[in-house]
Amino acid sequence: MLSSMQADSASCAGASEHASGSITLFACGDVMLGRGIDQLLPTPSDPRFFEPCVSSALSYVELAEKASGPIPRRVGFGYVWGDAFDAWESLRPRVRIINLETAVTASPKADRSKEIHYRMQPANVPCLTAAHIDCCVLANNHVLDWGPRGLLDTMKILRAAGIHTAGAGTNQAEAATPAVIEIPPARLLVYGFAVESSGVPRSWGATRRRPGVNWLADLSARTADDIARQIAQDRRRGDLVLASIHWGGNWGYELPPSAREFAHRLVDAGACDLLHGHSSHHPKAIEVYRHKLILYGCGDLLNDYEGIGGYETFRPELALMYFPTLNAASGDLLTLTMVPVHLHRFQIKNASEPERVWLTKMMDRECGQWGSRVACSSTGLLALQ
């Protein structure tokens, strides 16, 4: 899908990025490397867990194999990323950011109040470094599946691997502290937030004495103003800010007015150059507001749902990789390129032409409500217009 001409062009663009005063980022929605996917990797966790209807993570591998055919075991750490490597090589983002919906821990103590438990064995963390992930946002509804111990393990292991974390901490102050990523001559500040509407309970919120996530009680104007004040204190001249928010349900295209108002208020306050929304299992609308990019729901990029039915109308096997290019001085959006992909046998593959057409029509429909259009180029990439 990514032609050699396009790759050469992107390579030149990446090389001249600094000189032209722009910066390209990579962002995506939920990345779930636990459960079935963890079982494929070189050192899988104990597959036994405590879901109401399933007692082994291997059941999810078997479901996927029934739908798609045999899936190899003990795969290399780069296996799951598949064709994503070609996209990264061609579009050359300076920073790669994901929402990691998986605890990285060997803890045997699951949160039994939950029905689903995502865990990746710590020895499999090279799955993330193989993809050169720079920052994992942890403010979501699975990072504490294995309790506070699992969260603390996750932060320690990721940081030891050289991966920044955002949205969780040993206490509230740390959970609210941004990941600071150097992108000379400036910095990118990444803040992570979790909202109850995405299934994150209040009890998971960090406090002065308890580890947890950076939990928001609501999406009110007061909450947005509080965040804006903190960011103003943290931000240096020339910094770019990405606000990553886990909000809303898993299915459905509707955007609650409170979410749009919250996003707009952050932008109006000068507190956000890019809003990175996630929780939905499928891509949702994109808005450009006062030249700032708002991704309301990025959809899942990696999960182990293959073979599970019930939501086929949303085409959950299809996903987008987002590559926004921002003005390095102002944070304004210059371009947004999206790479359409298909998850097959727990591996990211380039979407077929019919799949690209479906994604283009769906995204054009949803974005059109908010003043943008989406078109598919002859090279198979989607672009926001």
Domains delineated in the chain: 4-384 (3.60.21.10)
| 5 pLDDT above the threshold of 50 | no
Q: CA 143 from chain center: how many Å?
A: 13
Q: What is the mean pLDDT of residues 5-31?
A: 65
Q: Do residues 117 and 47 touch, judged by C-beta distance below 8 A?
A: no
pLDDT of the residue at 8: 38
Q: What is the mean pLDDT of residues 340-357?
A: 98
Report the C-alpha gap between 203 and 17 in whole angstroms. 43
The mean predicted confidence, pLDDT, of the chain is 94
Report the C-alpha gap between 81 and 97 in whole angstroms. 14
- Radius of gyration of the CA atoms of the chain, in A: 19
Give the confidence band of 50 by pLDDT, cuts at 50, 70, 90: confident
Q: E strands along 117-235, which residues?
A: 119-120, 135-137, 164-166, 168-169, 179-183, 186-195, 212-213, 215-216
Weakest-pLDDT range from 103-112, 158-167, 278-287: 103-112
pLDDT of the residue at 53: 86
Tokens standing for residue 159: 């940081």
| 4 pLDDT above the threshold of 80 | no
Report the C-alpha gap between 309 and 112 in whole angstroms. 25
Q: E strands along the chain, which residues?
A: 22-31, 95-100, 103-104, 119-120, 135-137, 164-166, 168-169, 179-183, 186-195, 212-213, 215-216, 240-246, 274-278, 286-289, 292-295, 318-327, 333-343, 348-350, 374-376, 382-384
Give the confidence band of 20 by pLDDT, cuts at 50, 70, 90: low
Which among 48, 148, 118 has a CA at the least distance from the CA of 300?
A: 118
Which secondary-structure segment (H or E) carries 174?
helix 172-176
Question: Quick one: 378 exposed, middle or buried, by C-beta within 10 A (0-12, 13-18, 19+)?
Answer: exposed
pLDDT of the residue at 334: 98
Q: Give 68-111 pLDDT, tens digit per residue.
A: 999 999 999 999 999 999 999 999 999 999 999 999 999 999 99
Q: What is the mean pLDDT of residues 171-194?
A: 96
Q: Do residues 25 and 94 touch, judged by C-beta distance below 8 A?
A: yes
Which among 326, 282, 276, 330 has a CA at the least distance from the CA of 97?
A: 276
Which among 161, 160, 141 has a CA at the least distance from the CA of 34?
A: 141
| 358 pLDDT above the threshold of 80 | yes
pLDDT of the residue at 17: 54
